[in-house]
């Protein structure tokens, strides 16, 4: 007897990952559901791929603007060409994703419904004009931009991150709400496009997941390199239009009220699970805090699995894929009456801050999380300017940090410097394999940029030996 699994959001990273792991099982019947037009998944169409596309154009202008060795007129970012090129590339990427799903749909045990799915009862779906009653449902509907519930915001034209990726004309000035990873990536793009920006930061510094020196370094860098106004410890109170169709934002900062005015308002205030159209109110499912377990099962219905951004746990592409794989394994295990495996991963995150010239990456523990976990450890920090290679490449800013247990085990690494994003894979191996810092080879190699890692490892090993 076959097990019928319906996947809502089959074009997305989590959905297609689950489908690819289930399709070859002889006892699985799959119904893939997605109403995406043209379809291809959030990351490809509205997330990581198009955002890196626009950042790369601004990065080239930024590098030229900051290099005193160059002479001649500074080029502008041609927004129309940027958007046109982005659209061409993302269309090709999305076509590959659609082809992968459509290849799955050719299998005998697979049905693909290009319709909107809505729950009408527990595990009963209305899909177009038909009713589907699978044994298991996978919700992989991704996420959508989050606009804050702020007084007056309904009367103001707000641009979200999705809007910015398609915009070819910006005003001369702007106010940005949201300085998390989305804001850190898109704010420099707007600055290089010629927008004079005020960026609201709720805390003393940005980058909540990082140890304080990294947030402090980024705050100084953004203010200086991109000429930004960044009021810290500031909270939005209300917003209104001005007489010249601009915006006026009222904030409370350190107990005092301030106002900021600009031509337009940007909301880079994160993303939320895309669940609004699913009809969850017709089921026992309650998408509140902790509604999805580590096994990817909904706590209110063990035959509903929620993977990727839809569960709100860790909205990152590679996590969505891994959660999709876990979902597929656990559906088969549940159907067979076997024990399920929780999804576990070591913290690994990259922010393409500073247009990717000064990216931030973290693997495993920070100093704060190691302390909170009561792990005996020590911290080794190194400034990027200590390594001549960064100076020769005109990128001397930033720092790196290694968190090492007192027995030598590498617990975590943070990098805020040129090429930190690509060095993250090397450090992932060190952290996930529980390597002893004294056993990591200290040998010369090319390219030389990762010498900053060598320095951290040598310093950590010497501290243990001492």
Q: Are residues 129 and 158 in the same domain?
A: no
Instruction: Give the residue-averaged pLDDT of 63-83.
Output: 94
The four Cα atoms 223, 228, 234, 239 give a dihedral, to 10 degrees, of -170
- The sign of the torsion formed by the CA atoms of 61, 181, 430, 466 equals positive
Q: Are residues 160 and 243 in the same domain?
A: yes
DSSP sequence for 231-281: -SSEEEEEEEE-TTS-EEEEEEETTEEEEEEESEEEE---EEE--GGG-GG
What share of the chain in percent tops pLDDT 70? 100
Nearest in space to 140 (alpha carbons), one of 186, 105, 86, 101: 101
Buried b (16+ CB within 10 A) or exposed e, 408-424: bbbbbbbbbbbbbbebb
The pairing of strands 410-416 and 399-405 is: antiparallel
| Interacting residues of 92 by C-beta distance below 8 A, sequence separation 6+ | none
Q: Are residues 99 and 206 in the same domain?
A: no
Instruction: Give the residue-averaged pLDDT of 102-126.
Output: 95
| Interacting residues of 262 by C-beta distance below 8 A, sequence separation 6+ | 171, 173, 174, 175, 196, 197, 198, 246, 247, 249
Domain that holds residue 392: 359-465
For residue 338, give both structure tokens: 């076997």
Nearest in space to 430 (alpha carbons), one of 414, 410, 455: 410
pLDDT of 244 strictly over 80:
yes
CA distances from 312 to 44, 113, 241 (A): 19, 25, 33
Q: Are the C-beta atoms of 391 and 361 separated by less than 8 Å?
A: no
CA distances from 333 to 104, 303, 336, 337, 339 (A): 22, 11, 5, 6, 6
Of 269, 304, 325, which residue is a domain's last? Answer: 269
Instruction: Give the residue-averaged pLDDT of 19-37.
Output: 94
pLDDT of 465 strictly over 90:
no
Q: Are residues 14 and 125 in the same domain?
A: yes
For residue 416, give both structure tokens: 């805020």
pLDDT of 275 strictly over 90:
yes
Per the prediction, the chain carries an average pLDDT of 94
Q: Are residues 392 and 302 in the same domain?
A: no
Instruction: Give the residue-averaged pLDDT of 225-246.
Output: 96
Measured distance CA(401)–CA(206) in Å, rounded: 18
* Tally of CB atoms within 10 A around 457: 23
The pairing of strands 124-127 and 130-132 is: antiparallel
Kindly report the pTM of this predicted structure: 0.93
Q: Are residues 249 and 289 in the same domain?
A: no
Q: Are residues 141 and 240 in the same domain?
A: no
- Residue 236: CATH number of its domain: 3.50.50.60
Q: Are residues 227 and 330 in the same domain?
A: no
Q: Are residues 259 and 279 in the same domain?
A: no
What share of the chain in percent tops pLDDT 90? 88
Instruction: Give the residue-averaged pLDDT of 326-334.
Output: 98
Percent of residues in the chain assigned helix, strand, coil, to nearest 5: 35, 25, 40
Question: What are 370-374's contacts with CB under 8 Å, separation 24+?
Answer: 370/403, 370/411, 370/412
pLDDT for res 44: 78
pLDDT band at 46 (very low <50, low <70, confident <90, very high): confident
Q: Are residues 76 and 183 in the same domain?
A: no
Q: Are the C-beta atoms of 44 and 317 separated by less than 8 Å?
A: no
Q: Are residues 402 and 295 in the same domain?
A: no
pLDDT band at 141 (very low <50, low <70, confident <90, very high): very high
Largest CA distance in the chain: 73
């Amino acid at each position: 007897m076959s097990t019928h699994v319906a996947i809502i959001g089959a074009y997305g990273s989590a959905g297609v990952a689950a489908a690819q792991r289930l399709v070859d099982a002889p006892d699985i019947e799959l119904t893939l559901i997605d109403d995406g037009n043209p379809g291809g998944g959030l990351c490809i169409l509205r997330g990581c791929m198009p955002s890196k596309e626009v950042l790369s154009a601004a990065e080239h202008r930024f590098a030229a603007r900051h290099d005193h060795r160059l002479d001649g007129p500074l080029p502008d970012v041609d927004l129309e060409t940027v958007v046109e090129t982005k659209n061409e590339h993302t269309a090709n990427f999305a076509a590959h994703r659609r082809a992968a799903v459509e290849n799955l749909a050719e299998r005998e045990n697979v049905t693909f419904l290009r319709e909107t799915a809505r729950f009408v009862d527990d595990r009963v779906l209305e899909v177009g004009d038909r009713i589907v009653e699978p044994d298991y449902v996978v919700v992989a509907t991704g996420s959508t931009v989050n606009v804050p519930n702020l007084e007056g915001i309904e009367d103001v034209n707000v641009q979200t991150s999705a809007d910015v990726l398609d915009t070819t004309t910006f005003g001369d000035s702007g106010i940005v709400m949201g300085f998390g990873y989305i804001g850190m990536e898109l704010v420099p793009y707007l600055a290089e496009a010629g927008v004079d920006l005020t960026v609201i930061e709720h805390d003393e510094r940005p980058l909540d997941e990082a140890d304080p020196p990294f947030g402090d370094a980024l705050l100084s860098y953004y203010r200086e390199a991109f000429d930004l106004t960044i009021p810290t410890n500031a909270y939005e109170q209300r917003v209104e239009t001005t007489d010249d169709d601009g915006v006026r934002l009222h904030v409370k900062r350190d107990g005092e009220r301030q106002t900021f005015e600009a031509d337009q308002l940007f909301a880079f205030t994160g993303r939320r699970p895309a669940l609004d159209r699913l009809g969850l109110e017709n089921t026992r499912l309650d998408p509140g805090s902790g509604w999805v377990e580590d096994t990817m099962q909904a706590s209110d219905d063990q035959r509903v699995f929620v993977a990727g951004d839809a569960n709100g746990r860790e909205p990152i592409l590679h996590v969505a894929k891994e959660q999709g794989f876990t979902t597929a394994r656990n559906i088969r295990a549940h159907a067979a009456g076997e024990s399920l495996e929780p999804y576990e991963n070591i913290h690994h995150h990259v922010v393409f801050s500073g247009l990717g010239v000064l990216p931030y990456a973290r693997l495993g523990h920070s100093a704060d999380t190691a302390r909170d976990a009561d792990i005996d450890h020590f911290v080794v920090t190194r400034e990027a300017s200590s390594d001549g290679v960064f100076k020769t490449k005109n990128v001397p800013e930033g720092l790196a940090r290694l968190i090492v247990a007192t027995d030598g085990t590498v617990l975590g690494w943070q990098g805020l410097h040129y090429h930190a994003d690509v060095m993250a894979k090397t450090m992932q191996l060190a952290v996930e394999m529980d390597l002893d810092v004294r056993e990591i080879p200290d040998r010369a190699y090319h390219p030389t940029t990762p010498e900053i890692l060598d320095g951290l490892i040598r310093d950590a090993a010497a501290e243990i030996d001492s």
